[in-house]
Structure 1
Amino acid sequence: MDRAWIGATLSFLVAATLVVSTASAADVKDVRLWRAPDHTRVVFDLTGPADHKLMVLSNPSRIVLDVEDTRLRTDFSDLKLDNTPIRQVRSGVRDGDDLRVVLDISAAVDPRSFALKANDQAGDRLVLDLYDKGTQASKPVVKKSATAAGKRDIIIAIDAGHGGEDPGALGPGKRREKDVVLAISKEIHRLFKADSGFTPTLIRSGDYYISLKGRRDLARKRKADLFVSIHADAFTRKEANGASVYALSTRGATSTAARYLAQRENAADLVGGVSLSDKDDMLAGVLADLSMTSTLDASLQVGSQVLGHMGGVARLHKKNVEQAGFAVLKSPDIPSILVETGFISNPGEAKKLSTPSYQKKMARAIHAGIKNYLIAHPPSGTLIAYNKAQGGAEYTIARGDTLSGIAQRFNVSLASLKSANGIDGSKIMVGQKLTIPAT
C-alpha cells in the first residue's frame, strides 16, 4: 500500500514538473533588426521571459546566443543585413529544449545583450547590440565653418523622437510617431542647410533607437548651440488635439497633461535597457539648484517664437510654452525645446501629420521660429552675431509680434526700426520681413 502511495506521489510530482516546464517555455515570435551609425541592434520578441548566454567565437567569427527552453516560431529570411556586420543568421536546437542562434560576422564588433521585461507597449524581448569597432563608424560631420569674417556657423541639433523598436505614439491607420517626426526633422534640416550662417545636424537620421541621455550627449559632442526634439503627441481621448512647445521645468510639470506626457516620454528610455534614475543624479542636482538660468530663459524664448509660428499652421493645444521634466531636455548648457507637432491619436491630425505637404508646413514654422530667435539672439563668435552688429540682421514677423516688442527684443529704438523699414504707422503683417538696424 505504501509503495503504491509513493509511486502515485512520484508520478504526480513528475507530471507537475512537466507542466511547470511547459508553462515556462518561451517562443521567439518575431525578430527585428535596425542599423544605427555606430551599432547594429537585433531584437527577439518573446512570448515570455527566458534566460540566455552570449558567446563570441573566432575562426570564423561568430556571435552565439543560447536561449534556455525556447523555440523559434519565425525565421530570419526577412532580415535586411545590408550595411551591417552580419553575413547570415542561423539557428538550431541545443540540449533538447534550448534555442541556439548563430550570427556569422564579417567585421569586428563588441557584442552586448540584455533582456527587457514586458510592459504596456511590448512583450518580453531579448536585445543584442553589435557595436562597431576597429573602423571609424560613419558620423555626421558637424563643422563650425570659417567665413570671410572669421566667424562660425550656429549649430542646430534636430532630434527626431523615438526610433527603432520604440515606435512612439501610434495613431489610426498604423501611423507611427517615429516615422512622422523623422520626416519633419529631415525637412527642418534641409531648410537650415540652405541658410547662410547655420549648420544643422540630425541626432537620429534613420530608424534606430537612441537613449534619451544619448541624444543629449550627441548634441553636446557636436557642440550644438540649440537642441530641438520633435514629437507627435498622444492622449487617451482621441478628441485631444493641437500643437505644443515644451521647455524644461526645474519644479516639475506645469499641468496635468504635461505631467502625463513627460512620464510617457521618459518611460521610453526603458526600451533601450537604460535606467535614468541611477545615472543622472548629478545633472538632476545641478538643474534643481539652477531655478533660473540663461539656458532655461533662452529655451522659453525660442519656444515662444516657435509656438507663434506654429500657430499659423496648426491649432495650438496651449497658447504658452509649457514646462515639464522631459529627460531629453536636461542639458544645462544648451537651450533645449521639445515640440509636439500635434496629436497622432486624433484621427484628423494624424491624417494631416502623415502628409508630406503638412510635414513641410510644420517644418517651415519650426524653422522660422528658431531662426528668428537666433537672429535676434545669436551666440557670440558666430557669423549671425557679426552680421547683426553690422546692421545686417533680418527678422520675420510672427503672430503676436508688435513693432515695440521687436525693437525691445533687438535692443534698438522704435524710431530707428521704423525708419530702416519705411514704416509710418504701427501696422505689420505675419510673414513680413524686417531689417534690423545696427545697434
Structure 2
Amino acid sequence: MGGSLTRWGILGLAALAAATPLRAPQAAEVKAARVWAGPEYTRVVFDLSGPLDYKLSRQGDRVVLELASSRLAGAFGAPAATGLFKGLSSARAGGALRLAAQAAPDSRPRSFLLKPAGDYGYRLVLDLYPGKASAPPPARAAGSAAATADASAPDAVKDDPAPVMAALRSARNGTLTTRQAALLLKGDRKVVVAIDAGHGGEDPGAHGPGGTLEKNVTLAVARALAAEINKQPGMQAVLTRDGDYFIPLKRRYQIAREKNADMFVSIHADAFTSGDARGSSVWVLSPRGKTSEAARWLADRENSADLIGGVSLDDKDDSLAAVLLDMQQGYAMQASEAIAGNVLRALGQLGPTHRGYVERANFVVLRSPDVPSILVETAFISNPAEERKLRDPAHQRELAQAVMGGVRSYFESTPPPGTWFAAQAARRSGLLAVADAARDDDRAAPAGTAPDRPSRPARQTGAVASASAASRADDGVRDLHRVGRGESLRSIARQYGVSVGALKNANNMQNDTVRVGAVLAIPAG
C-alpha cells in the first residue's frame, strides 16, 4: 500500500471527524441572536465575530452553551420566547461566557457552527427538537387547521394515472370492465398539491436592489397559490412552511411524500449579477439528478421500508428494486415535464419567460422519486423592475393564478385514479353512464360469474354521445370528436363533411350549443 491510506483507514478518519465537534481555537464576540420556530423544531442562531471554541451541556430544562474566552457585544439583546425556546440568560464563568437557553421540557438540543456564507458571518446554531412524547405536528393544510388537513388527506398512496386512461379507452370501445367502472366512479379524493416556499428563517435567499428578500416573496406567492388551489373543486394545498422559518431541503420533499402529494411545486425568485436578466422559468430534475438519487435509495433501502409509489423496496432483490425504482422515477419525471410545460406556458401569458423552454438541474427539492416535482423561478429579484412587481400583492396573485392554471390543466388532462378529476373526465366523455351500467351488470351477475367480464354498453341520451354506442358500426357512427376551445357545431360538421342536422341527430342534441371537452359521435356518410 506504500504510504497511502487504506479504505478502512479513510473510513476510520471520517468516523473520527464526524464524532469530533467542530471547534475553533480562538475567542469571538456574540453580536446578536435570533429565533425561528417551525413545525418540527425551533432554531436559535447566534451571530459571531469569528470562529470559537464551545461546549454544550444540559441542566434540567436549560441548554447551556459555554463559549471559551468570549463576550457579549454591547448591543446584544436576548430574543423573545418562541416555540421550544423559552428565554435566554448569560453569565461569566471564569474566562468563559455561559449562555443558558431555557427550553421546553424534554426538548432535545443539537448544535453546530456555520462558516460565513452570503451576508452572514460565523454563526453558532442551536436547534431544539420536541421530545419523544410530543411528535412534531404534520404540515399544515393551507387555509385550515392541521386537524382538518389530516382528516381530508388521502388514505391511499396515489397510482399511475394510466389505469384511468385505459378505462376511458375501454369505455369508448364498449369493453369497460367492472373494475374499470369502479375506478371511474370513485371520484371522491382531492388531488394534493404540496407548495414549497423557498428559503426561510436564517436563509433569506436572494436580495433585490431595493432590499426585497426572496424568502418573503416566495412565502407570499406560495400562500396565494394555496388559496387559489383550495378554491378549486377536487384540489387541496399543503404548505411545507407557512411562516418565516428554515426547513432543510431534503425535508421539503419528504413532507410532500408524507402527505401523499400528487404534485410538488417549489416557489423561488431568480437572481443574477446583472440587473438586466429577467423573466420567469420552470425547472425539473436532470437525468444526472435522477441517477444519483436512485443510487442513494438503493444503497439505503436495507435500513428503510419507505414506499416508492406504494411499493416497499427493502424486501426486493437488487435487480427488482432497481427496476421498480426506475419505473417510478420515469413516471414522476415524465409527469414533471408535462406539468412544467403547462406552467411555463401559463407564465408566458403573464410576462416574458427567461429562456422559453423547461430547464433541468439537480436541485435537491426536485429529487422525490415518486412525486412529480417542479421548481418555479417567478422572476429575477435582481432586476429592479421585476423586484417591484414581486413586492406587489396583486402581481403575486397573478403569478399564483398562472401557476394554478398550469397545474389544473395537467390534472384535467391526466387525472389520477379515484379523484374528482377522474370522475369529471368520465362525465365529460359521456362515459359515466357506461360505468354505471357496468356496475349494475356486476350486481346482477349470477353467483360464480367472473367479475371482470366486459360489460354491456349502456344506451345514453343528451348532448354527449354514448361512447359505447359510438364504437358499434351498426349505430352508423364512424368516429369520435372531443370539442376543443373555439370550436362550434358548424365548424366540426365542416371538418368531417357532415351536416349540422346529422351531427345533432347522432348525438340527440336539441340545440347548437357544444361544451368544451364534450365527446361527439360523428355519423357515417
TM-score range, shorter chain: 0.7 to 0.9
2:89 aligns with 90
2:30 aligns with 28
1:130 aligns with 128
CA deviations over 1:314-337 (Å, ceiling 9, x no partner): 211011111111111011111100
Q: Does 2:381 match 1:344?
A: yes
2:395 aligns with 358
User: Separation in 2 of the partners of 1:168 and 1:29?
Assistant: 22
Distance 1:423 1:180, change over 3 A: farther
Larger Rg: 2
**Is 2:40–2:137's contact at 8 Å kept on the other side of the alignment?**
yes
Give, in angstroms, the shift of residue 350 of structure 1: 0.6
Runs of 4+ in 1 over 6 A off after TM superposition: 284-292
Q: Does 2:97 match 1:99?
A: yes
The 5-angstrom pairing of residues 384-423 of structure 1 reads 384-391=421-428, 415-418=481-484, 422=488
Give, in angstroms, the shift of residue 307 of structure 1: 0.7
Q: Does 2:517 match 1:436?
A: yes
Distance 1:340 1:126, change over 3 A: same
User: Separation in 2 of the partners of 1:116 and 1:324?
Assistant: 26
Identity of aligned residues (%): 39
1:64 aligns with 64
| Partner secondary structure for residue 350 of structure 1 | helix
Matched to 1:282, the amino acid is R
Which structure is higher in strand share?
A: 1
Give, in angstroms, the shift of residue 120 of structure 1: 3.9
Give, in angstroms, the shift of residue 77 of structure 1: 4.2
Matched to 2:426, the amino acid is A
**Is 2:31–2:76's contact at 8 Å kept on the other side of the alignment?**
no
**Is 2:85–2:128's contact at 8 Å kept on the other side of the alignment?**
no
Distance 1:95 1:423, change over 3 A: farther
1:110 aligns with 108
Distance 1:170 1:434, change over 3 A: farther
**Is 1:252–1:325's contact at 8 Å kept on the other side of the alignment?**
yes
Distance 1:418 1:194, change over 3 A: closer
| Partner secondary structure for residue 201 of structure 1 | strand
Give, in angstroms, the shift of residue 138 of structure 1: 3.5
CA deviations over 1:3-26 (Å, ceiling 9, x no partner): xxxxxxxxxxxxxxxxxxxx9321
User: Separation in 2 of the partners of 1:211 and 1:70?
Assistant: 30
Task: Compare 37-46 and 70-79 and name the one that shifted more.
Answer: 70-79
The 5-angstrom pairing of residues 45-60 of structure 1 reads 45-58=47-60
1:219 aligns with 256
> Which residues of structure 2 form unaligned runs of 5+?
1-24, 141-148, 156-184, 300-321, 431-478, 493-513, 521-525
Give, in angstroms, the shift of residue 382 of structure 1: 1.1
**Is 2:27–2:69's contact at 8 Å kept on the other side of the alignment?**
yes
User: Separation in 1 of the partners of 2:355 and 2:189?
Assistant: 36
2:153 pairs with 144, 149, 159, which one? 144
User: Separation in 2 of the partners of 1:95 and 1:337?
Assistant: 54
Give, in angstroms, the shift of residue 107 of structure 1: 3.2
CA deviations over 1:238-289 (Å, ceiling 9, x no partner): 1111100011111479xxxxxxxxxxxxxxxxxxxxxxx9x98514987996
| Partner secondary structure for residue 172 of structure 1 | coil
Give, in angstroms, the shift of residue 210 of structure 1: 0.8
Q: TM-score, normalised by structure 2?
A: 0.64
| Partner secondary structure for residue 407 of structure 2 | helix
Give, in angstroms, the shift of residue 119 of structure 1: 2.9
**Is 1:420–1:436's contact at 8 Å kept on the other side of the alignment?**
no
User: Separation in 1 of the partners of 2:373 and 2:427?
Assistant: 28
**Is 1:233–1:342's contact at 8 Å kept on the other side of the alignment?**
yes
User: Separation in 1 of the partners of 2:32 and 2:128?
Assistant: 19
Give, in angstroms, the shift of residue 347 of structure 1: 0.7
> Which residues of structure 1 form unaligned runs of 5+?
1-22, 254-276, 394-412, 427-432
The 5-angstrom pairing of residues 24-423 of structure 1 reads 24-58=26-60, 61-73=61-73, 77=77, 79-82=79-82, 84-96=83-95, 98-133=96-131, 134-139=133-138, 140=140, 141-142=149-150, 143-144=152-153, 149=186, 151-251=188-288, 281-283=295-297, 293-391=330-428, 415-418=481-484, 422=488
Task: Compare 66-75 and 369-378 and name the one that shifted more.
Answer: 66-75
CA deviations over 1:359-396 (Å, ceiling 9, x no partner): 01001000111011111111112121122112179xxx
The aligned length equals 364
CA deviations over 1:62-120 (Å, ceiling 9, x no partner): 111111222111566462314x2333210111222x21101123433111111112234
Matched to 1:135, the amino acid is S
| Partner secondary structure for residue 483 of structure 2 | helix
User: Separation in 1 of the partners of 2:205 and 2:415?
Assistant: 33
RMSD over aligned Cα, in angstroms?
3.1
1:407 aligns with none
**Is 1:252–1:323's contact at 8 Å kept on the other side of the alignment?**
no
User: Separation in 1 of the partners of 2:119 and 2:485?
Assistant: 58
| Partner secondary structure for residue 350 of structure 2 | coil
User: Separation in 2 of the partners of 1:24 and 1:295?
Assistant: 49
| Partner secondary structure for residue 98 of structure 2 | strand
User: Separation in 2 of the partners of 1:348 and 1:326?
Assistant: 27
User: Separation in 2 of the partners of 1:48 and 1:280?
Assistant: 39
User: Separation in 2 of the partners of 1:209 and 1:355?
Assistant: 24
**Is 2:342–2:406's contact at 8 Å kept on the other side of the alignment?**
yes
Matched to 1:437, the amino acid is A
Distance 1:124 1:335, change over 3 A: same
Matched to 2:153, the amino acid is K
Matched to 1:348, the amino acid is A
Matched to 2:296, the amino acid is M
